[in-house]
Structure 1
Amino acid sequence: MTLTVLPHRDAAGLKAGQLYVGGQWTPARDGATWTHLHPATGEEIGEFAVAGAADVDDAVAAAREAFPSWGTSRASTRIGLLLKYAELLRAHADELRALQALDNSVPLSFGAIYATSVAAAADVFTHHAGWVDKAGGQTLPPYQGGDHLALTFREPIGVVGAILPWNAPFLLFAQKVAPALGAGCTMVLKASEYASFAVIRMVELLAEAGLPDGVLNLVTGPGDPTGERLITHPDVDKVSFTGSRAVGKRIVEASAGTLKRVSLELGGKSPAIVFPDAPNVGLAAMTTMGAVTMGLSGQACVANTRALVHRDVYDEFLGAAQGMAAAVTYGDPFDPGVISCPLVNGRQLERVLGYLEKGKAEGRLVTGGERLGGDYASGNFVAPTIFADVDNHATIAQEEIFGPVLAVVPFESEEEAIALANDTEYGLGAGLFTADSARAFRVARRLRAGTIGVNGFQVEPHLPFGGFKQSGLGREGGLSAFEAYTELKTVLMPLGEELM
Structure 2
Amino acid sequence: MTLTVQPHRESLGLKAGQLFIDGQWTDGRGGQTWTHQHPATGEEVGGFVSGTAADVDDAVAAARAAFDGWATSRARTRIDVLLRFAALLREHADELRGLQALDNSVPLSFGGIYATSVEAAADVFTHHAGWVDKVGGQTLPPYQGGDHLAMTFREPVGVVAAILPWNAPFLLFAQKVAPALAAGCTVVLKPSEYATFAVLRMVRLLTEAGLPPGVLNVVTGPGDPVGEAMITHPGVDKVSFTGSRTVGKRIVEASAGTLKRVSLELGGKSPALVFADAPNVAIAAATVVGAVTMGLSGQACVANTRALVHRDVYDEFLGAAQGMAAAVTYGDPFEPSVISSPLINGRQLERVLGYIEKGKQEGARLVTGGERLGGDLANGNFVAPTIFADVDNSATIAREEIFGPVLAVVPFGDEDEAVELANDTEYGLGAGVFTADVQRAFRVSRRLRVGTIGINGFQVEPHLPFGGFKESGLGREGGQSAYEAYTELKSVLMPLTEEMM
Same fold per superposition (TM over 0.5): yes
- Give me the whole-angstrom Cα distance separating, in 1, the residues matched to 2:118 and 2:15: 22
Letter aligned with residue 454 of structure 1: I
Residue equivalent to 1:114: 114
Residue equivalent to 2:385: 384
- Give me the whole-angstrom Cα distance separating, in 1, the residues matched to 2:62 and 2:28: 15
RMSD: 0.5
Q: Runs of at least 4 residues of structure 1 off by over 3 A? A: none
SS at match of 2:461: coil
Residue equivalent to 2:370: 369
Deviation at 1:499, TM superposition (A): 1.4
- Give me the whole-angstrom Cα distance separating, in 2, the residues matched to 1:79 and 1:28: 31
Residue equivalent to 1:76: 76
Deviations 1:326-353 (A, max 9, x none): 0000000000000000000001001001
**Where do residues 469-488 of structure 1 align in structure 2 (5 Å cutoff)?**
469-488=470-489
Deviations 1:128-181 (A, max 9, x none): 000000010111100004211000000000000000000000000000000000
Residue equivalent to 1:126: 126
- Give me the whole-angstrom Cα distance separating, in 2, the residues matched to 1:207 and 1:499: 50
Checking the alignment, whether the CA contact within 8 Å between 1:40 and 1:380 is kept in structure 2 is: yes
Deviation at 1:28, TM superposition (A): 2.4
- Give me the whole-angstrom Cα distance separating, in 1, the residues matched to 2:6 and 2:53: 33
Checking the alignment, whether the CA contact within 8 Å between 1:269 and 1:400 is kept in structure 2 is: yes
Gaps of 5+ in 2: none
Letter aligned with residue 349 of structure 2: L
Deviations 1:38-70 (A, max 9, x none): 000000000100110000000000000000110
Letter aligned with residue 12 of structure 1: L
1:173 paired to 2:173:
yes
Letter aligned with residue 42 of structure 2: G
- Give me the whole-angstrom Cα distance separating, in 1, the residues matched to 2:314 and 2:147: 69
- Give me the whole-angstrom Cα distance separating, in 1, the residues matched to 2:178 and 2:111: 20
Deviations 1:249-284 (A, max 9, x none): 000000000000000000000000000000000000
Residue equivalent to 1:451: 452
1:142 paired to 2:142:
yes
Residue equivalent to 2:241: 241
Q: TM-score, normalised by structure 1?
A: 1.00
**Where do residues 78-117 of structure 1 align in structure 2 (5 Å cutoff)?**
78-117=78-117
Letter aligned with residue 294 of structure 1: M
1:208 paired to 2:198:
no
Residue equivalent to 2:439: 438
Deviation at 1:115, TM superposition (A): 1.0
Residue equivalent to 2:275: 275
Residue equivalent to 1:343: 343
- Give me the whole-angstrom Cα distance separating, in 1, the residues matched to 2:431 and 2:398: 14
- Give me the whole-angstrom Cα distance separating, in 2, the residues matched to 1:370 and 1:67: 51
Letter aligned with residue 467 of structure 1: G
Q: TM-score, normalised by structure 2?
A: 0.99
Residue equivalent to 1:416: 417
Letter aligned with residue 293 of structure 1: T
Letter aligned with residue 173 of structure 1: F
- Give me the whole-angstrom Cα distance separating, in 2, the residues matched to 1:261 and 1:218: 20
SS at match of 2:476: coil
1:42 paired to 2:26:
no
Letter aligned with residue 489 of structure 1: K
SS at match of 1:167: coil
Letter aligned with residue 129 of structure 2: A
SS at match of 2:499: coil
- Give me the whole-angstrom Cα distance separating, in 2, the residues matched to 1:25 and 1:470: 38
Checking the alignment, whether the CA contact within 8 Å between 1:366 and 1:388 is kept in structure 2 is: yes
Letter aligned with residue 311 of structure 1: R
Letter aligned with residue 492 of structure 1: L
- Give me the whole-angstrom Cα distance separating, in 2, the residues matched to 1:15 and 1:311: 55
- Give me the whole-angstrom Cα distance separating, in 2, the residues matched to 1:347 and 1:120: 30
Letter aligned with residue 76 of structure 2: S
- Give me the whole-angstrom Cα distance separating, in 1, the residues matched to 2:379 and 2:181: 41
- Give me the whole-angstrom Cα distance separating, in 2, the residues matched to 1:308 and 1:386: 13
SS at match of 1:314: helix
1:66 paired to 2:66:
yes
- Give me the whole-angstrom Cα distance separating, in 1, the residues matched to 2:389 and 2:278: 19
Residue equivalent to 1:156: 156
Deviation at 1:84, TM superposition (A): 0.4
Deviation at 1:191, TM superposition (A): 0.5
Residue equivalent to 2:395: 394
- Give me the whole-angstrom Cα distance separating, in 1, the residues matched to 2:499 and 2:145: 10
Give aligned pairs, total.
Answer: 500
SS at match of 1:382: coil
Checking the alignment, whether the CA contact within 8 Å between 1:270 and 1:302 is kept in structure 2 is: yes
Bigger shift: residues 253-262 or 354-363: 354-363
Residue equivalent to 1:230: 230
Bigger shift: residues 357-366 or 481-490: 357-366
Letter aligned with residue 313 of structure 2: V
- Give me the whole-angstrom Cα distance separating, in 1, the residues matched to 2:308 and 2:423: 11
- Give me the whole-angstrom Cα distance separating, in 2, the residues matched to 1:27 and 1:92: 26
Checking the alignment, whether the CA contact within 8 Å between 1:238 and 1:262 is kept in structure 2 is: yes
Deviation at 1:12, TM superposition (A): 1.0
Deviations 1:348-391 (A, max 9, x none): 00100100100112300000011111111100000000000000
- Give me the whole-angstrom Cα distance separating, in 1, the residues matched to 2:137 and 2:443: 35
Residue equivalent to 1:310: 310
- Give me the whole-angstrom Cα distance separating, in 2, the residues matched to 1:23 and 1:428: 37
Deviations 1:3-24 (A, max 9, x none): 0001101111111100000000
Checking the alignment, whether the CA contact within 8 Å between 1:146 and 1:499 is kept in structure 2 is: no
1:3 paired to 2:11:
no
Deviations 1:445-471 (A, max 9, x none): 000000000000000000000000000
Letter aligned with residue 488 of structure 2: E
Residue equivalent to 2:184: 184
- Give me the whole-angstrom Cα distance separating, in 1, the residues matched to 2:10 and 2:380: 20
- Give me the whole-angstrom Cα distance separating, in 2, the residues matched to 1:417 and 1:409: 9
Letter aligned with residue 195 of structure 1: A
Residue equivalent to 1:429: 430
Letter aligned with residue 103 of structure 2: D
- Give me the whole-angstrom Cα distance separating, in 2, the residues matched to 1:361 and 1:389: 13
SS at match of 1:220: coil
Letter aligned with residue 359 of structure 1: G
Deviation at 1:31, TM superposition (A): 1.0
Deviation at 1:313, TM superposition (A): 0.1
- Give me the whole-angstrom Cα distance separating, in 2, the residues matched to 1:356 and 1:394: 12
Deviations 1:62-95 (A, max 9, x none): 0000001101110010000000000000000000
